[in-house]
């Protein structure tokens, strides 16, 4: 991915627009990360009004977006949710047809849905608008309980800061875990925020306890090699297994098992990038037990193999990387 086009229209949301600029538009060469050819585009260049009263001057029309590797769609006003600009819709359809990335932030998903490319796909938007999207676009499978959804090379994100989670998710696939971690550190945000929108929606159910699960989660991260069971974790939290599982999912947006698996994969990504350890050793240190189980989880979550991932993102001499790339041809996906 080398070229990024961010589409803004009248009534754009400044914060969500800024997320795209922060994620893809900053000069990061000092951090060892190549810059993207980043441009802000709009159907009709000129002064583009924000939804809070000020305007920005946009010089480029949609031409650059027609060939960009990534097209970012920022939020659009409610009045345009069902009648999006056809020029923007055409750019989105063209991006999907040529297998480019499309990423929407918050209500930008309505512009993507209006183009027709989300029909039959999973998508998300801000939880407040999920029912509206499902009603306006019944062919779209709207998931209101997640921070972002990737379906193919289309990524839709939930409200506001979830757009940053989606951007980092995409960067992790294009640049690898270590480079994305450097970007996240510069932003002073977590490189991987697990959980769903459910944790931000006011619930009528009272908290079982005010006890924070953060110490238990920290202990889990320090002991990924162990066979971590709900009974064991619940005991550390001084809760019953049932209460612990319910509280953990409410706080982290995933079951303990799913959360642990994701953390193990992130740890494996780092080891593949930064070490020459054999897959069996990495699998053991990450808690997968065997290289076969590591491959299965890698294929399921990242749609690639550990060897292919290492060949692309390893921080090693080029000769080693080339050898690994050749070896990856022989490695099965699962």
Residue 303 domain boundaries? 258-328
Residue 131 counted as domain residue: yes
CB-based contact 150:169 (threshold 8 Å): yes
User: What percent of the chain has a predicted confidence (pLDDT) above 90?
Assistant: 63
Tell me the CATH number at 223: 1.10.10
The confidence band for 194, taking pLDDT boundaries of 50, 70 and 90, is: low
CB-based contact 288:308 (threshold 8 Å): no
For residue 141, pLDDT beyond 80: yes
For residue 321, pLDDT beyond 70: no
Going by C-beta distance under 8 Å and a sequence separation of 6 or more, which residues neighbour residue 93?
115, 116, 117
On whether both 52 and 168 belong to a single domain, the answer is yes
On whether both 70 and 182 belong to a single domain, the answer is yes
Residue 143 counted as domain residue: yes
Q: Domain total for the chain?
A: 3
User: What percent of the chain has a predicted confidence (pLDDT) above 70?
Assistant: 88
Point out the domain boundary residue: 133, 155, 187: 187
On whether both 211 and 289 belong to a single domain, the answer is no
The confidence band for 160, taking pLDDT boundaries of 50, 70 and 90, is: confident
Point out the domain boundary residue: 187, 217, 237: 187
| Confidence (pLDDT) at 190 | 67
Contacts by 230-239, CB closer than 8 A, 24 or more apart: 230/256, 230/257, 237/211, 237/213, 238/211, 239/208, 239/209, 239/211
On whether both 282 and 238 belong to a single domain, the answer is no
328 or 319, which is more confident?
A: 328
The confidence band for 270, taking pLDDT boundaries of 50, 70 and 90, is: confident
For residue 178, pLDDT beyond 90: no
Residue 197 counted as domain residue: no
Average pLDDT, integer, range 242-269: 88
Largest CA distance in the chain: 61
The confidence band for 323, taking pLDDT boundaries of 50, 70 and 90, is: very low
The confidence band for 193, taking pLDDT boundaries of 50, 70 and 90, is: low
On whether both 237 and 159 belong to a single domain, the answer is no
| Confidence (pLDDT) at 151 | 93
Average pLDDT, integer, range 131-159: 93
On whether both 283 and 222 belong to a single domain, the answer is no
Tell me the CATH number at 62: 3.40.50.880
* 63-101 pLDDT per residue, tens: 999 999 999 999 999 988 988 899 999 999 999 999 999
Residue 224 counted as domain residue: yes
On whether both 82 and 178 belong to a single domain, the answer is yes
For residue 318, pLDDT beyond 60: no
On whether both 215 and 323 belong to a single domain, the answer is no
For residue 208, pLDDT beyond 80: no
On whether both 309 and 166 belong to a single domain, the answer is no
| Confidence (pLDDT) at 317 | 52
Tell me the CATH number at 284: 1.10.10.60
| Confidence (pLDDT) at 327 | 44
On whether both 141 and 273 belong to a single domain, the answer is no
H/E element, 38: strand 37-41
How far, in Å, CA of 291 to CA of 310, rounded? Answer: 14
On whether both 176 and 221 belong to a single domain, the answer is no
| Confidence (pLDDT) at 207 | 39
Average pLDDT, integer, range 267-278: 90
For residue 209, pLDDT beyond 70: no
DSSP string for residues in 54-110? -EEEE-B-TTGGGT-SEEEE----GGGSSS--HHHHHHHHHHHHTT-EEEE-TTHHH
Average pLDDT, integer, range 268-277: 90
Average pLDDT, integer, range 255-267: 90
The confidence band for 197, taking pLDDT boundaries of 50, 70 and 90, is: low
| Confidence (pLDDT) at 332 | 46
How far, in Å, CA of 182 to CA of 313, rounded? Answer: 14
């Amino acid at each position: 991915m080398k070229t990024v086009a961010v589409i803004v229209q009248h009534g754009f949301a400044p914060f969500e627009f800024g997320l795209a600029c922060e994620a893809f538009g900053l000069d990061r060469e000092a951090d060892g990360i190549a810059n993207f050819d980043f441009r802000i585009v709009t159907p009709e260049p000129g002064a583009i009004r924000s939804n809070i009263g000020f305007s920005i001057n946009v010089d480029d029309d949609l031409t650059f977006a027609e060939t960009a590797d990534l097209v970012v769609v920022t939020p659009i006003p409610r009045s345009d949710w069902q009648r999006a600009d056809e020029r923007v819709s055409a750019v989105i359809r063209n991006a999907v047809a040529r297998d480019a990335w499309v990423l929407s932030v918050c209500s930008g998903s309505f512009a993507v849905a209006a183009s027709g490319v989300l029909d039959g796909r999973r998508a998300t938007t801000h939880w407040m608008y999920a029912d509206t999207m499902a009603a306006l676009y019944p062919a779209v499978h709207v998931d209101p309980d997640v921070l972002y959804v990737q379906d193919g090379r289309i990524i839709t994100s939930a409200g506001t800061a979830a757009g940053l989670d989606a951007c980092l998710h995409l960067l992790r696939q294009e640049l690898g875990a270590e480079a994305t971690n450097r970007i996240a550190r510069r932003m002073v945000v977590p490189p991987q925020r697990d959980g769903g929108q459910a944790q931000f929606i006011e619930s009528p159910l009272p908290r079982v306890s005010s006890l924070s699960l953060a110490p238990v989660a920290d202990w889990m991260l320090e002991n990924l090699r162990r066979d971590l069971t709900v009974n064991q974790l619940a005991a550390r939290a001084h809760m019953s297994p049932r209460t612990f599982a319910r509280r953990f999912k409410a706080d982290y947006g995933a079951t303990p098992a799913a959360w642990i698996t994701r953390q193990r994969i992130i740890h494996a990504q780092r080891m593949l990038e930064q070490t020459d350890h054999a897959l069996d050793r990495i699998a053991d240190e990450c808690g997968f037990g065997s290289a076969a189980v590591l491959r299965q989880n890698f294929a399921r979550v990242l749609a690639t193999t550990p060897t292919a991932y290492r060949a692309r993102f390893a921080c090693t001499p080029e000769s080693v990387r080339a050898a690994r790339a050749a070896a990856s041809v022989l490695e099965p996906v699962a």
